[in-house]
Amino acid sequence: MKKVIEMNNINVYYKNICALENINFTVEEKEFLAILGPNGGGKSTLLKLILGIAEKSSGTIKIHGDDPKKNKSKVGYVPQFTKFDKKFPINVEEVVLMGRLKSKISFFHKYTKEDKEKVGEIMKELNIFHLKNRQIGELSGGQLQKVLIGRALFMDPKILLLDEPTASLDGAAKTQIYALLKKLNEKMTIIIVTHDYGVVNSYVKNILCLNKKLYYHGEKGMDSKLVEAVYGCPVDLIAHGVPHRVLGEHREGIF
């Protein structure tokens, strides 16, 4: 299987603070990977490295065999919908079309007929075409997450990164999003940052456990000793929809 991400001896420091230490792993084509770990454990930094917007202090990283900055078009990114401004006066179709914009193109860029046709196809695939004229503030959390996924899909990425795609969603919406990602995984590599191991375990192929250091990368399944090593305290990751339910004494400063 083709390797789409390769990290070797990666270290990241912000001044004197270590964000990531000696990270080594590979991700294969059409892998569905969940990244687990406590807040402040380096998950966001790892995503930024893959996106080519963070600088490593040492080590090597390749995306499809090349520098991440040269392969940005091959990586799509879906932020947490809770961080998206729902009051912004823009509708669903316009948000998905934003996936066409590049940093040097004006927000008022004139879209082509092909752009409009493509956005229609994406909205139909995600089952949000009927919402195309809906202002984003009128959407449910699950609907908005699909819209942001649609925006990331516009440039036909080979790798799709999602930052806690089901945060604050109810059980039914979570199931819909993960079912959608499983379908998308048939044609692209999916990497999600999540705390929701109970749901993810039914969909992902592999997991990566991160807390500045890489504690585990492989098939699903973690024992209690590994969980405690990653999170710094006993945590129940099996509870459906209850992220990080602490079982024992929680040491201050871990989360």
Q: Report pLDDT for 140.
A: 93
Residues 6 or more apart whose Cβ sits within 8 Å of residue 23: 7, 9, 10, 11, 46, 59, 210, 213, 214
Residue 240: pLDDT band with limits 50, 70, 90: very low
CATH number at residue 102: 3.40.50.300
- For residue 252, being part of any structural domain is answered with no
Residue 10: pLDDT band with limits 50, 70, 90: very high
Average pLDDT over every residue of 93-115 = 76
Its pTM stands at 0.85
Residue 238: pLDDT band with limits 50, 70, 90: very low
The residue among 23 and 255 whose pLDDT is bigger is: 23
Q: Report pLDDT for 102.
A: 61
* Number of domains composing the chain: 1
Residue 58: pLDDT band with limits 50, 70, 90: very high
Range of weakest confidence among 154-158, 174-178, 226-230? 226-230
How many angstroms separate the Cα of 125 from the Cα of each of 117, 122, 255?
Answer: 13, 5, 37
Q: Report pLDDT for 250.
A: 31
- For residue 68, being part of any structural domain is answered with yes
Residue 71: pLDDT band with limits 50, 70, 90: confident
Q: What is the mean pLDDT of the chain?
A: 84
Average pLDDT over every residue of 57-77 = 93
Rounded CA-CA distance 109/199 in Å is 40
Q: Report pLDDT for 170.
A: 87
- For residue 31, being part of any structural domain is answered with yes
**Is 159 within 8 Å of 4 (Cβ atoms)?**
yes
Q: What is the pLDDT of residues 189-232, one digit of tens each?
A: 999 998 776 666 778 899 898 999 998 888 876 665 666 667 66
- DSSP three-state, residue 241: coil
Q: Report pLDDT for 82.
A: 67
Q: Which domain holds residue 23?
A: 3-246
Q: Report pLDDT for 249.
A: 35
- For residue 237, being part of any structural domain is answered with yes
Rounded CA-CA distance 200/181 in Å is 11
Q: b/e map of 214-247 (b: 16 or more CB within 10 Å)?
A: bbbbeeeebeeeebeebbbbebbbeeeeebbeee
Q: What is the DSSP letter of 100?
A: G
Q: What is the pLDDT of residues 106-121, one digit of tens each?
A: 556 678 899 999 999 9
Q: Which residue has the tokens 């687990």?
A: 36
Q: Report pLDDT for 46.
A: 96
- For residue 251, being part of any structural domain is answered with no
- For residue 203, being part of any structural domain is answered with yes
Largest separation between any pair of C-alpha atoms in the chain: 59
- For residue 179, being part of any structural domain is answered with yes
Judge whether residue 251 has pLDDT over 60: no
Q: What is the pLDDT of residues 27-50, one digit of tens each?
A: 999 999 999 888 889 999 999 999
- For residue 253, being part of any structural domain is answered with no
For helices 141-153 and 113-125, what crossing angle results, to 10°? Answer: 140
Strands (E) in the chain, as ranges, are: 3-14, 17-28, 32-36, 58-63, 75-78, 159-163, 189-193, 206-211, 213-219, 235-236, 245-246
| Structure tokens given for 151 | 């925006």
Rounded CA-CA distance 159/185 in Å is 9
The residue among 238 and 165 whose pLDDT is bigger is: 165
Q: Report pLDDT for 177.
A: 93
